[in-house]
């Protein structure tokens, strides 16, 4: 019972070998079954996440969320899915048919492909490749291509404008994301995701490298396209950005891709900074590792939703300034400082406690210095002061001053 | 047997994408097929047991160069004239030359006696590559970073808008 | 049955020839750049194939490939900046029409 997933896999393997299938065919079928299972789990999770997001948004904004479709509105997602399935596909005239239809599929494929390398427990992994970290970044860049394809082939200038702005933001924020991802790689001396999780065994990377976690959180939110970086679909500015001209299930695929990307971003933060499937008794009972992984990912997902629902959207030039003038120098200096500190402390072979303390202090020091410098560099804004008897709206019938 | 089938499929995708790149009238569609060709080449690297190069190929070529090319195409479109002839006047000679080159190269390479060895591919490729980059090949490594800096500064300078000439002359 | 080295080299030769045809016969400047990228990819396939089949212990082939990636990226960046600058001045990217230094 403790190792449920491997138990099922071994039983299936014996069954197929008993039917006379060759070893390679069995392996192939089991791996295909595993990937189909991961995809199905992802879609089921997204259905639940849409409900959570809407309820949470409602409560944070001091209103009820959906509460008509079933008790507490839990069937709202199913109602939405049925509605989206039955909508008509309106293809704009002049759209390039092939690429217009391929773009949503590419968007969702690029997010699903990231799930291939996630370790869910100590012996439940998809593909334990040696370059796992780089694979994640590389596959994420397919989504950018999907946005460009969608924006251009819609034959709509607002789509194109939205797509160009989104792509400019996405490729800019890839840089601090990759550089801050290099810090856990440095600390674990390997690019395999299972090694990175094993290296976080006593102390999570959140404590050893908090600045990298912060930079990665901010750039992940920009990559996903969640507020305050949500000009990908700035409803009040650009109709709906690059998915203006999509209706029905094609829009549904973009929508699902966005929620799944948010959950995937949470999973990445969990793996790199929160210890992945680690937790009490996770090594002896692998099924607990699976549960811890999803629990931590869900927590990070809630944090991202919380930030999204509390902050307004940043203007695009302020956003690009934040990236190029603050996040990139900070992430580079962080990487260099962590590399030097790690090497020096390796020379002296210090205790684990002192190591963690020095790393934590170094990160906080760099963060404070960079915030201080950023504060010095921005100009003093003349705040407008209101006069004492400023005009106030009075209800009709009251005395007017 | 399976590896031969896989190699045939990957070469079909790569060469098909490449031919679509060079014969398509619409240059944006050529760029999309270029992405397909790059994916095919990355699969060839995976077949050759070089996973690092495969992932770097996707990251650099598809994630950066293809997006840059598509952006440049979108910025330099004139009118969407459908009758813009894409081949120039000497395309017949170009095709003949390319075919001749392929014939000579292909025959030479196929019939040569390569000193193939059966050494197994090392497991820790990244570690070995890191050590060699920083010891044997450190000079080209540093020169490559200077080259990238020069390309960065140069392309920003060249691509800049020229409406601030008096200010930029100072 | 493993795949012999010469098959990979023939694939690279075919890709190189297709890229060469693209460079010599396209009218759009960016189309020519795409042909150049195909040729560089063919060279990379050659390098990695030779690394794999002849001496996989020394990582020379892969390191050479990384430098080719670097140079290709730098070249595409500067080339496209040039193309955009020319488009701003001459309003065309067809290379047959950009044939005089001063129009």
Q: Tens digit of pLDDT for each residue in C60-73?
A: 999 999 999 999 99
Residue B80 has pLDDT above 60, yes or no: no
C77 touching B (Cβ < 8 Å): yes
A183 has a pLDDT exceeding 90: yes
Inform me whether the pLDDT recorded for C33 exceeds 90: yes
- Asked whether residue C34 is assigned to any structural domain, the reply reads yes
Residue C102 lies in a domain: no
On chain A, the residues whose CB falls within 8 A of the CB of B126 are 130-131, 191
Residue A134, chain B, CB below 8 Å: the answer is yes
pLDDT band at C101 (very low <50, low <70, confident <90, very high): confident
Is A152 an 8 Å CB contact of chain B?
yes
| Maximum mean pLDDT: which of A71-80, A219-228, A304-313, B37-46 | B37-46
CA distances from B81 to A98, A150, B85, C92 (A): 20, 21, 10, 13
Sign of the four-CA dihedral A104, A107, A113, A114 = negative
Interface ipTM above 0.85:
yes
Give the residue from B59, B63, B55, B62 showing the smallest Cα distance to B125: B55
> DSSP character for A69?
S
Q: Give the closest residue to B74 by CA, choosing from C100, A242, A239, A240.
A: A242
Out of C2, C48, C54, the one facing B45 most closely (by C-beta) is C48
**How far is residue C55's CA from residue B120's CA, in Å, rounded to a whole number?**
9
With bands split at pLDDT 50, 70 and 90, how would you rate the model's confidence at B38? very high
* A388-397: pLDDT as tens digits: 676 777 777 7
pLDDT, average across residues B45-66: 93
**Within 10 Å of residue B24's Cβ, how many Cβ atoms?**
18
Flag whether pLDDT at B164 surpasses 60.
no
Q: Is the pLDDT of residue A126 over 80?
A: no
Q: What angle separates helix A352-377 from helix A210-224, to the nearest 10 degrees?
A: 60
The answer to whether residues A147 and A166 touch, using CB atoms and an 8 Å cutoff, is yes
Q: What is the Rg, in whole angstroms, of the alpha carbon atoms belonging to chain A?
A: 24
Alpha carbon distance C34, C30 (integer Å): 6
pLDDT for C103: 66
Please report which confidence band the pLDDT of residue A181 belongs to, taking 50, 70 and 90 as the band edges.
Answer: very high
At residue A300, does pLDDT exceed 70?
yes
Q: Tell if the CB–CB gap between C17 and B4 is shorter than 8 Å.
A: no
What would the two tokens of residue A114 be?
């990231």
DSSP alpha helix (H) spans, B24-137: 27-47, 51-57, 67-75, 91-111, 125-135
Name the one residue in this structure whose structure tokens are 């995937």: A264
Task: Return the pLDDT at A227.
Answer: 66
The number of residues making up chain C comes to: 103
Structure token digits, residue A51: 């409900």
C103, part of any domain: no
Query: Which secondary-structure segment (H or E) carries A135?
Result: helix A132-153
pLDDT of residue B170: 40
pLDDT of residue B152: 93
> What does the DSSP 8-state code read for residue B87?
B
Q: Please give the C-alpha separations between residue C10 and each of B11, B97, B117, C49, in angstroms, as whole numbers.
A: 10, 17, 19, 11
Q: Is a pLDDT exceeding 50 seen at residue B169?
A: no
For A329-359, the pLDDT digits (tens) are 999 999 999 999 999 888 887 788 888 888 8
Cα–Cα distances in Å, from A49 out to A103, A160, C42?
23, 30, 45
Given this model, what pLDDT does residue A68 score? 82
User: What mean pLDDT is reported for chain A?
Assistant: 85
Mean pLDDT of A79-87: 88
pLDDT one-digit tens code per residue, A220-269: 998 887 767 776 665 545 566 777 778 888 888 888 998 999 999 999 99
CA C57 and chain centroid, separation = 27
* DSSP code, position C59: T
Most confident of A282-291, A299-308, B10-19: B10-19
What pLDDT sits at residue B45?
A: 95
pLDDT (tens digit, 9 = 90+) per residue, C6-30? 999 999 999 999 999 999 999 889 9
- CB distance A144–B74 less than 8 Å? no
Task: With residue A124 as reference, give the H or E element that holds it.
Answer: strand A124-125
The whole-angstrom separation of Cα A122 and Cα A279 is 11
Average pLDDT over residues A300-310: 91
Report yes or no: A174 at the B interface, CB cutoff 8 Å. Answer: yes
For residue B168, pLDDT beyond 50: no
Residues whose CB falls within 8 Å of the CB of residue A208, separated by 6 or more in sequence, listed in order = A187, A355, A356, A359, A360
With pLDDT > 90 as the criterion, what percentage of chain C qualifies?
68
Of B51, B63, B123, the CB nearest to A131: B51
CB-count exposure of residue A108 (10 Å: 0-12, 13-18, 19+): buried
- A236-245, B81-90, B128-137: the lowest-pLDDT one: A236-245
Is there a contact between A254 and A163 (Cβ–Cβ < 8 Å)? no
Give the separation between CA A69 and CA A52, rounded to whole angstroms.
14
- Crossing angle for the helix pair A249-273 and A210-224, to the nearest 10 degrees: 180
Cβ contact A–C (≥3 pairs, < 8 Å): no
Determine the Cα–Cα distance for residues C92 and C90; give it in Å rounded to an integer.
5
At B16, list the tokens.
């098909």
| Per-residue pLDDT, B138 | 93
Could you give the angle at which helices A328-348 and A210-224 cross, rounded to 10 degrees? 150
Task: For residues A396 and A169, give the distance between their C-alpha atoms in angstroms, rounded to a whole number.
Answer: 48
Per-residue pLDDT averaged across A3-12, rounded? Answer: 81
Residue B46 predicted with pLDDT over 80: yes
Tell me the C-alpha distance between A245 and A274, whole Å: 39
Whether C21 and C32 have beta carbons less than 8 Å apart is answered as no
Please give the class, per CATH, of domain B1-78: mainly alpha
Which of B29, B59, B124 is opposite residue A137, by nearest beta carbon?
B59
B166 pLDDT band, cuts 50/70/90, is very low
Q: At residue A95, does pLDDT exceed 80?
A: no
pLDDT greater than 60 at residue B167: no
A44-58, A220-234, A245-259, B48-62: least confidently modelled range: A220-234
Give me the pLDDT at residue C38, please.
95
Cα angle A113, A116, A117 (rounded to 5 degrees) comes to 120
Which residues of B fall within a CB distance of 8 Å from A167?
A: 67, 71
- The percent of residues above 90 in pLDDT, for chain A, comes to 27
Chains touching chain B, criterion 3+ CB pairs below 8 Å: A, C
pLDDT reading at A7 higher than 60: yes
Least CB–CB distance from B67: residue in A99, A130, A148: A148
pLDDT tier, A162 (very low <50, low <70, confident <90, very high otherwise): confident
Arithmetic mean of pLDDT, A111-125? 87
- Determine the pLDDT at residue A2: 66
């Amino acid at each position: 019972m403790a190792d449920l997933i491997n138990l099922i896999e071994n039983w299936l393997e014996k069954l197929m070998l008993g039917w006379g299938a060759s070893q390679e065919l069995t392996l192939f079928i089991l791996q295909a079954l595993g990937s189909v299972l991961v995809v199905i789990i992802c879609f089921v999770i997204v259905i639940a996440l849409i409900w959570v997001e809407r309820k949470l948004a409602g409560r944070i904004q001091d209103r009820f969320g959906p509460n008509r479709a079933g008790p507490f509105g839990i069937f709202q997602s199913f109602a939405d899915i049925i509605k989206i399935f039955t909508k008509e596909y309106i293809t704009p005239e002049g759209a390039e048919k092939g690429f217009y239809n391929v773009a949503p599929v590419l968007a969702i494929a690029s997010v699903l492909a990231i799930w291939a390398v996630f370790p869910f427990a100590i012996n439940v992994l998809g593909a334990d490749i040696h370059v796992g970290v780089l694979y994640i970044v590389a596959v994420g860049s397919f989504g950018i291509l999907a946005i460009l394809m969608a924006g251009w082939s819609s034959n709509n200038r607002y789509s194109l404008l939205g797509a160009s702005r989104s792509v400019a933001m996405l490729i800019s924020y890839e840089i601090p994301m990759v550089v801050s991802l290099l810090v856990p790689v440095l600390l674990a001396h390997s690019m395999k995701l299972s090694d990175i999780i094993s290296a976080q065994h006593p102390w999570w990377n959140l404590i050893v490298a908090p600045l990298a976690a912060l930079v990665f959180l901010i750039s992940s939110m920009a990559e996903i396209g969640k507020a305050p970086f949500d000009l990908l679909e700035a409803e009040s500015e650009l109709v709906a950005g690059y998915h203006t001209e999509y209706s029905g299930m094609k829009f549904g695929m973009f929508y699902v891709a966005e929620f799944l990307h948010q959950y995937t971003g949470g999973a990445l933060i969990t793996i790199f900074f929160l210890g992945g499937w680690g937790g009490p008794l996770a090594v002896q009972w692998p099924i607990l590792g699976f549960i811890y992984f999803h629990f931590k990912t869900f927590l990070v997902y809630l944090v991202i939703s919380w930030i999204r629902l509390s902050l307004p959207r940043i203007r695009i030039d302020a956003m690009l300034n934040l990236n190029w003038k603050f996040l990139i120098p900070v992430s580079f200096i962080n990487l260099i400082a962590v590399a030097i500190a790690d090497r020096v402390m390796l020379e002296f072979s210090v205790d684990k406690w002192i190591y963690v303390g020095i790393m934590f202090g170094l990160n906080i020091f760099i963060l404070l210095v960079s915030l201080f410098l950023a504060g010095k560099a921005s100009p003093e804004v003349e705040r407008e002061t209101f006069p004492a008897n400023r005009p106030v709206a009075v209800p009709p019938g009251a005395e007017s001053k | 047997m399976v590896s031969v089938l896989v190699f045939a499929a990957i070469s079909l995708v790569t060469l098909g994408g490449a031919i679509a790149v060079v014969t398509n009238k619409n240059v944006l569609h050529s760029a999309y097929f270029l992405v397909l060709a790059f994916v095919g080449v990355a699969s060839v690297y995976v077949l050759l047991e070089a996973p690092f190069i495969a992932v770097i190929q996707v990251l650099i070529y598809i994630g950066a160069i293809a997006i840059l090319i598509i952006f440049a195409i979108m910025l330099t479109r004139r009118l969407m004239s459908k009758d813009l002839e894409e081949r120039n006047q000497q395309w017949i000679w170009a095709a003949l030359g390319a075919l001749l080159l392929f014939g000579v190269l292909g025959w030479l390479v196929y019939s040569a006696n390569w000193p193939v060895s059966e050494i197994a591919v090392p497991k820790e490729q990244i570690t070995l590559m890191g050590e060699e980059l920083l010891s044997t090949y450190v000079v080209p490594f540093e020169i490559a970073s200077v080259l990238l800096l020069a390309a960065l500064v140069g392309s920003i300078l060249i691509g800049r808008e020229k409406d601030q000439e008096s200010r930029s002359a100072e | 049955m493993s795949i012999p080295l010469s098959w990979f080299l023939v694939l690279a030769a075919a890709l190189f020839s297709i890229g060469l045809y693209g460079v010599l016969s396209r009218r759009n400047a960016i189309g020519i750049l795409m042909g150049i990228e195909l040729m560089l990819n063919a060279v990379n396939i050659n390098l990695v194939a030779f690394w794999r089949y002849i001496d996989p212990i020394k990582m020379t082939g892969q390191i050479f490939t990384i430098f080719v990636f670097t140079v290709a990226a730098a070249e595409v960046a500067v080339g496209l900046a040039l193309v955009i600058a020319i488009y701003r001045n001459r309003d065309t990217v067809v290379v047959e029409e950009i044939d005089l230094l001063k129009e």
